[in-house]
Structure 1
Amino acid sequence: MDATRNPLVLNWTGRAPRILVLGDVMLDRALIGSCERISPEAPVQVVDVRESRRQLGGAGNVVRNCLALGAEASLVSVIGADAAAAEVRALLTDCGAGDQAVFAEADRQTTEKTRVFAAHQQVVRLDTEVRTAITRESEDRLLDCLQAAGPLDAFIISDYAKGVVTERLCRAAIAWARNRGLPVFCDPKGRDFTKYSGASVLTPNRREAADAVGYPLSDAASIERAGRQLRETLKLDHCLITLGEDGMALFSAEGVHRLPSRAREVFDITGAGDTVVAALAVACAAGTDVRRACEIANIAAGLKVAKLGAATVSRDELAAELARGPHGMPPSAKIKTRDEIGRIAAAARADGRKLVFTNGCFDILHRGHTELLQAAAGMGDVLIVGLNADRSVTGLKGPDRPLQSEDDRAHLLAALAAVDYVVLFDEETPLELIAAIAPDVLVKGGDYAPDAIVGADLVRARGGQVRVVPLLAGRSTSAIVRRLT
C-alpha cells in the first residue's frame, strides 16, 4: 500500500531502523497436541504431543519482533554455558541478529520456558531458570558493548527480572543512550521502577503499574493517577500502560491519550508486551511521533494475541491491518504480489497457522464459487486464492474470455469475508504459485480425482492435505453465459 497516504504505516525509506535490545533472553519451547483423556495414573490430562517448536523468548522475542517489522536488531545479554544457551545462539544466528554481544557465565543457567498446548489452549508452563544478578564483570562487558555500538536509531531495555538488567547496568545504559540522543524504551519488571528513571517511554502492563505505585488500577481515575505518578516521579517523557481488553493509556506532557483495544479475538497473550515495545520502538525509530507509534503498537498487540505462543507480527500483516481501518479491510489490501504472498505465507507458517490454497478463473462470481470458498476457509486459518490472470484465462477458455478483467475479478474475490488474500498468476497452471506458498491444504472444486489436481504431489510431500469440494449442479460461468446468449 502507499505509505504516504496513511500516517500509521511504517514508511521509512533508504534503510531500515537500527535497534539495540538489552535484556533477559530465554529459550521458549512449545509442545502442541491434543487432549482427549485423563491419565489413569493421576487426575491429570494426557496431551498427545504432535509438534514441538523452539524460539527465542524474553528479550530475544523483542528482537524477533523488531526483525519481523523490517528493522535491523541485535541483542546484548548474558546466558549460561549449557545446551539451552547453544540453542539460543543458533536461533539468534538463524534470525539474523547474531550473538556477538551475548556473553556466557559458566555457572549460570539459561532460562527455559516450556509451554504445553492442547486445542489452542495453554495447559501448563514449565520454567527452568535462575534469577540471580549477573556478575559485575558481566555488567562491565555489556556496558563496553554499548559504548562500542555503531549507529543506532533506538534502544530497548527488556527486563524479565532474570538478573541481566541490574540496577547499576540499567541506570548506566539509560544514561549512555540519552547521551547519544537515542530514545529509550523500557519494558519493566518488579515493584521498584526507580532504575528506569529518565527513560523515554516506559511500558508497564496494568498489574506491573499497580505493583509499582502500590494500589490497584481498577477504574479510569486510578489508571490516570498511576500513569501521571509514574511519569512525574521517574522523569519519563512518556508512560504507556497496557490494559489488555481495555486497550492502552499514554501519558505525556500534553495529557492522557486512551486507545481502545484492537484485538478481535484472543487466543494467547504470551509475548504481547514484547510486540508492543518492539512496534513502538521501530515506529519511533522510523520517524513516527509517539502518539501515532502507540496506535501502531496497539494494532500490533491485537494481531499478536490472535496467535498461539510468543508469535511475531510482520510488517506486511501490520500494513494490512492498518489498511483495514475500523470498518474492515478494503479489497485492494488483500490483493498481493507473488513476493508479498510468499512472505505472508512464511510468516503465517512460522506462527503455526494453517494455510489453505485454492485457485480458479472466477470469471462470473456465482453461488458455487462462494460455497467453495466458504468451505475452503473452514479448513484452516488463512485462505489464499490464486486467480488466473487475463492471459491465462484466454489460453484456457478461448479468445472470448475472460468476461471481466483480472482487476475486477480480483477485487470481487477480495471483497468476500472468506478470502484472506488474492494473488494473480499468468501461467496455465498454479504449480509455481503452490510451490512458493507451500499450503497445508490444497482445495479444488468439481469432480477432480485428488491425484489429478495440479500441485497435489507437492502438498502431500510436505505432509499436507488435498481436498475436493463438489460444485453445485448447474452453477458455472459457462452456464450463465449460455443463458445470456
Structure 2
Amino acid sequence: MQRQEASILLSAIAGKRALVVGDVLLDSFVYGEVKRISREAPVPVLSERRREMMLGGAGNLVRNLISLGGTASAVSVAGDDAHAPAVEALLGECGASSVALVQQPGRKTPTKTRYVSGSQQMFCVDCDPGGSISPDSERRIIAVVADAMGGADVVVLSDYGRGMLTPELCREVISLARAAGKPVCVDPRGADYSRYDGATLIKPNAQELADEVGLPVGSDSEAEAALGALKARLDSTPALIVTRGAQGMSLIENGTVHHHRARPRSVYDVSGAGDTALAALSLGVAAGLPLVDAMALADLAAGTAVGKAGTATVSPEELLDAAIPGAGDADWRVLSREKAAGTVQSWHRNGLKVGFTNGCFDILHPGHLASLRHARSVCDRLVVGLNSDASVTRLKGEGRPVNPAAHRAAMLAALESVDRVVVFEEDTPEALIRAIAPDVLVKGADYRPDDLPGADFIRSRGGEIVIAPLQPGFSTTALVEKMKADASR
C-alpha cells in the first residue's frame, strides 16, 4: 500500500467507535535469561529480569482500535479473583471509553503467562475459566450491549474460546446490532460458525478456516474453495476474510474472491497480530470503506505488528512509516506542533525513547549530517525542531535564511536519521520541547548544557541532555559569506 493511500484510509477511520464484546485476557510476560540447566530435571532455568502485564484477547483488540485512531468500549466477563481488578484497570489505562466487566462468582479470570529468554518465547501457561458463562451473566451482558449499541459505529465479537461468547449470546448481540443498523465484525473460535451468521464480516485465520470446513487453505485456489464452502453455510453473512500469514489475506464478497498479497517482512513476534488486523478491518467497516481497501489496511497493520515483541499495538504514524512512498506523496514527516505531540505520545506508549534537536539548517552540510546522526544514535525516534523564516532572520540577520522553511523541512525529512520535523516560530525551541515532551535533548558542543532552552524541563521529567561532537570546518554562515565573496569577484 502506498503512503498516500494509507493516509486517506487512516483519516477515514479516525474517531470511529467500536463496541467490543468478548474474552479479555490478562497477559503476563516474564522476561529473563537462560544460563544453566536445572539440577532437578533436564530443563532450562530462566533467571527472571522483569515481568510485565498487559491486555490480551479482546483487551488487545481494544488497545489496537484505540492506537489506530478509533475509540472502543469494552464488554467482558471476569472472575471474582485478584486478576479482575487488574483487567479493569488496564482497560481504563489504555483509553477505553467505557468498561463493563461482568464478574461471575466462582469463575476464573482468563490469563496467559509467557516466559521469554532473550527474544525467544520458551513456553506459555494458560489459566482458563473452564466452561461457558452462566445464564445470569449472559442476561447482564446482553443488557449492557443493548444500552451501549446506540453509541457504536461497529460491534466487534472477539471470541477467544474462554466461554463468554455462547451461541445464544452471539445470536442475540448480532440481532440487536442488525435491528440498530450497526455492522458486526467477528473474530471466530471453535467449531460451528452458525452462531455468528448474520454478522457483516467474519475473519478466521487459515488454520481456523481449515478446521471449520475440513479443507486445506494453502494455495489461493484452496483458500477460494474453503471460503466458498464456509460462505455456503452462512446465508446471512455477506463477507468472509481469511488471514493467511505471509501469503496475505483473501476475501469473499458477493461471490467474488479477492486476494491481497502480503509484503515480505521481518517477523519478530506474531502474538496478537490477528487483533491488529481485526481492529483495522472493523474500523474500516465502521467507516464504510470497500472491504478490499480495509483488507489492505489490515494487512499493513498486522505486518507492522509482527515486527514488535509481544501483543503490540501500532499507530497511524507507524503505518505511514511502513507504507510504500509514492510519487505524489506530500512530505508526511513534517508535522504541526499539535500532531507532533500526539505522535510522540504514541511512541511513548510503545516504549520508544524520543530525542529532540533543533536548528536553522539553512544550508545542509556534513557538519549537520554528523550532528543529526549522533542525535539519532541516542534515541529510538528523532524529532527536529526547525526555526521558521522569521525566526532565522531575527537570529542570523537580513538575507537569511537562504532557503525557505518548506525547502529546509523537506530536506531534513528526507534524511534517514530524522523521523519528524516541526517548524517553530519562536526564537528558542522551549515551547515546542514542552509541547512534545521528548526524553533526550541533543545539541552541539558549541552549547553549554545548562544554557539550553528546555533543559530544565527535560531534566524535571527524568530526561537527559546529550552534547554532540562538532565536525570542524563546517558553518552555514561561513558558506554564505564565501558565496557572497565569490559572487563579488
Tell me the TM-score normalised to structure 2 length. Answer: 0.88
* 1:216, distance to aligned residue in structure 2 (A): 3.5
1:398-413 equivalence runs, <5 A: 398-413=397-412
Taking a change above 3 Å as real, the CA distance of residues 378 and 260 of structure 1, as seen in their structure-2 partners, is: farther
Distance 1:39 1:3 in 2: 52
2:219: which partner in 1? 219
Taking a change above 3 Å as real, the CA distance of residues 7 and 387 of structure 1, as seen in their structure-2 partners, is: closer
* 1:157, distance to aligned residue in structure 2 (A): 0.4
Distance 1:263 1:64 in 2: 25
Distance 2:49 2:459 in 1: 21
**Higher deviation after alignment, 332-341 or 261-270:** 261-270
Gaps of 5+ in 2: 485-489
Q: Aligned to 2:12, what secondary structure does the other structure show?
A: coil
Does 1:153 pair with 2:153?
yes
* 1:321, distance to aligned residue in structure 2 (A): 5.0
CA contact under 8 A between 1:19 and 1:72: conserved in structure 2?
Answer: yes
Distance 1:47 1:471 in 2: 43
Distance 1:133 1:367 in 2: 66
Q: Aligned to 2:269, what secondary structure does the other structure show?
A: coil
Tell me the TM-score normalised to structure 1 length. Answer: 0.89
Distance 2:463 2:35 in 1: 27
Q: How many residues align?
A: 478
1:214-363 equivalence runs, <5 A: 214-235=214-235, 236-262=237-263, 264-318=265-319, 320-321=320-321, 324-325=323-324, 327=326, 330=329, 332-363=331-362
**Higher deviation after alignment, 240-249 or 120-129:** 120-129
Q: Aligned to 2:85, what secondary structure does the other structure show?
A: helix
Q: Aligned to 1:301, what secondary structure does the other structure show?
A: helix
Gaps of 5+ in 1: none
1:208: which partner in 2? 208
Taking a change above 3 Å as real, the CA distance of residues 171 and 104 of structure 1, as seen in their structure-2 partners, is: same
Taking a change above 3 Å as real, the CA distance of residues 126 and 430 of structure 1, as seen in their structure-2 partners, is: farther
* C-alpha distance after superposition, 1:189-230 (max 9, x if no partner): 124333222322111112222222224322222222112222
Amino acid at match of 1:175: S
Distance 1:263 1:270 in 2: 18
Distance 2:459 2:95 in 1: 31
1:68: which partner in 2? 67
Taking a change above 3 Å as real, the CA distance of residues 69 and 259 of structure 1, as seen in their structure-2 partners, is: same
Distance 1:438 1:312 in 2: 21
Distance 1:20 1:6 in 2: 24
* C-alpha distance after superposition, 1:264-288 (max 9, x if no partner): 4433222211111121111221221
Taking a change above 3 Å as real, the CA distance of residues 286 and 107 of structure 1, as seen in their structure-2 partners, is: same
**Higher deviation after alignment, 40-49 or 253-262:** 40-49
Does 1:482 pair with 2:484?
no
Amino acid at match of 1:312: T
* 1:317, distance to aligned residue in structure 2 (A): 4.3
Amino acid at match of 1:301: A
Distance 1:29 1:432 in 2: 39
Does 1:142 pair with 2:141?
yes
* C-alpha distance after superposition, 1:11-42 (max 9, x if no partner): 379xx43321110012233455x648447767
* 1:422, distance to aligned residue in structure 2 (A): 0.7
**Higher deviation after alignment, 192-201 or 152-161:** 192-201
Distance 1:91 1:178 in 2: 30
Does 1:170 pair with 2:178?
no
Taking a change above 3 Å as real, the CA distance of residues 231 and 378 of structure 1, as seen in their structure-2 partners, is: farther
Q: Aligned to 1:466, what secondary structure does the other structure show?
A: strand
Taking a change above 3 Å as real, the CA distance of residues 215 and 44 of structure 1, as seen in their structure-2 partners, is: same
1:173-192 equivalence runs, <5 A: 173-192=173-192
* 1:411, distance to aligned residue in structure 2 (A): 0.8
* 1:153, distance to aligned residue in structure 2 (A): 2.0
CA contact under 8 A between 2:19 and 2:154: conserved in structure 1?
Answer: yes
CA contact under 8 A between 1:209 and 1:241: conserved in structure 2?
Answer: yes
CA contact under 8 A between 2:13 and 2:69: conserved in structure 1?
Answer: no
**Higher deviation after alignment, 137-146 or 41-50:** 41-50
1:461-480 equivalence runs, <5 A: 461-480=460-479
Amino acid at match of 1:259: H
* C-alpha distance after superposition, 1:347-404 (max 9, x if no partner): 1111112222222211111122223223333333322111122232223222332211
**Higher deviation after alignment, 167-176 or 117-126:** 117-126
Does 1:375 pair with 2:374?
yes
1:441-460 equivalence runs, <5 A: 441-460=440-459
* C-alpha distance after superposition, 1:239-268 (max 9, x if no partner): 111112221111112511111224644332
Does 1:24 pair with 2:16?
no
CA contact under 8 A between 1:263 and 1:305: conserved in structure 2?
Answer: no
**Higher deviation after alignment, 294-303 or 456-465:** 456-465
Amino acid at match of 2:55: L
Distance 1:96 1:146 in 2: 19
* 1:417, distance to aligned residue in structure 2 (A): 2.3
Taking a change above 3 Å as real, the CA distance of residues 213 and 465 of structure 1, as seen in their structure-2 partners, is: farther
1:95-114 equivalence runs, <5 A: 95-97=94-96, 101-114=100-113
Amino acid at match of 1:296: L
**Higher deviation after alignment, 170-179 or 363-372:** 170-179
Distance 2:37 2:429 in 1: 47
2:487: which partner in 1? none
Taking a change above 3 Å as real, the CA distance of residues 344 and 366 of structure 1, as seen in their structure-2 partners, is: same
Q: Aligned to 2:332, what secondary structure does the other structure show?
A: helix
* 1:466, distance to aligned residue in structure 2 (A): 3.1
* 1:341, distance to aligned residue in structure 2 (A): 1.0
CA contact under 8 A between 1:332 and 1:414: conserved in structure 2?
Answer: yes
Taking a change above 3 Å as real, the CA distance of residues 19 and 276 of structure 1, as seen in their structure-2 partners, is: same
* 1:409, distance to aligned residue in structure 2 (A): 0.6
Distance 2:143 2:28 in 1: 31
Amino acid at match of 2:421: V
Taking a change above 3 Å as real, the CA distance of residues 189 and 326 of structure 1, as seen in their structure-2 partners, is: farther
1:431-446 equivalence runs, <5 A: 431-446=430-445
Distance 1:170 1:159 in 2: 10
2:387: which partner in 1? 388
Taking a change above 3 Å as real, the CA distance of residues 257 and 381 of structure 1, as seen in their structure-2 partners, is: farther
